[in-house]
Amino acid sequence: MDKLKYKLEVNRNEKELEITRAYCIGYTGRNKEKTMEHIKELAEIGIPEPKEIPMLYPVRTSSLNQVHRIEVLGNETSGEAEIVLVFGNSEDEVYVTVGSDHTDRALEETDINKSKQVCDKPFAKKAWLLKDVIDHWDFLELYSEVYIDGEWKEYQRDKISMILSFEEIKGYLNKKDVPLNNSIFFSGTVPLLDGFHYGTKFRMIFKDPIRNQEIVSGYDINNIERW
């Protein structure tokens, strides 16, 4: 399998990584009851229920995007800020950053995995070593904003304690017998503040309040139907 190379800035040093596999992990809420409530809410608007929770979706490595711009088809696509785990050549070489599971919401009502395949998966160029944040994992925070009609609108804001812990995510992947080396995982998101909104830009912020650091990344959304 071909390996695509991507660059991460880690502790002010540039690291080049080869990525063979890419996945999105859906329905990773730590509170299972609330996750099931969310699934039922989505079912009411036509989004199919998953076969299991969490749910693993393989995505194209060619969809990985670090160029701050994506092209989409149609007006109903949107991003979600996600924890992104990147594994290097060994399971001990793990990096944490932020990315967006940009998804076609109209297609999602027909086929969730196909709705993920048609959109690029942007992720930040800056990352942290897992070992530098694992001892205060639940204090990390995810934010996102969407640009609509010339203004930024807050879209998400919560601690990642809402999401499965790293140990639970890794245990799930081991249970599924998923190879970790040279793989990237979009590993879960926090709730939307006010439902889906569709804009022309998306910005995500990953904050570490303990070390007073943050990773900020964003991208333009170009609907190729507009001309």
Range in 45-54, 99-108, 117-126, 157-166 the model is least confident about: 45-54
Q: Check whether 94 has a pLDDT greater than 80.
A: yes
Q: What is the mean pLDDT of residues 85-96?
A: 93
Range in 25-34, 63-72, 187-196 the model is least confident about: 25-34
> Is residue 225 packed enough to be buried (19+ CB in 10 Å), middle (13-18) or exposed (0-12)?
exposed
> 4-223: what CATH class?
alpha beta
Determine the pLDDT at residue 37: 73
Letter string b/e over residues 8-43, b meaning 16 or more CB atoms within 10 A of that residue's CB: bebeeeebebebebbbbbbbbbeeeeebeeebeebe
Better-scored residue on pLDDT, 193 or 225: 193
CA distance 59 to 13: 28
List, for residues 49-69, the tens digit of each pLDDT value. Answer: 778 889 999 999 999 999 999
Q: What is the mean pLDDT of residues 163-170?
A: 96
Domain ranges of the chain: 4-223
**Per-residue confidence band for 2, with pLDDT thresholds at 50, 70 and 90:** low
SS3 annotation, 18-65: EECEEEEEECCECCHHHHHHHHHHHHHCCCCCCCCCCEEEEECHHHEE
How high is the mean pLDDT of the chain? 92
| Global pTM value | 0.93
Q: What is the mean pLDDT of residues 139-150?
A: 98
Q: Check whether 113 has a pLDDT greater than 90.
A: no
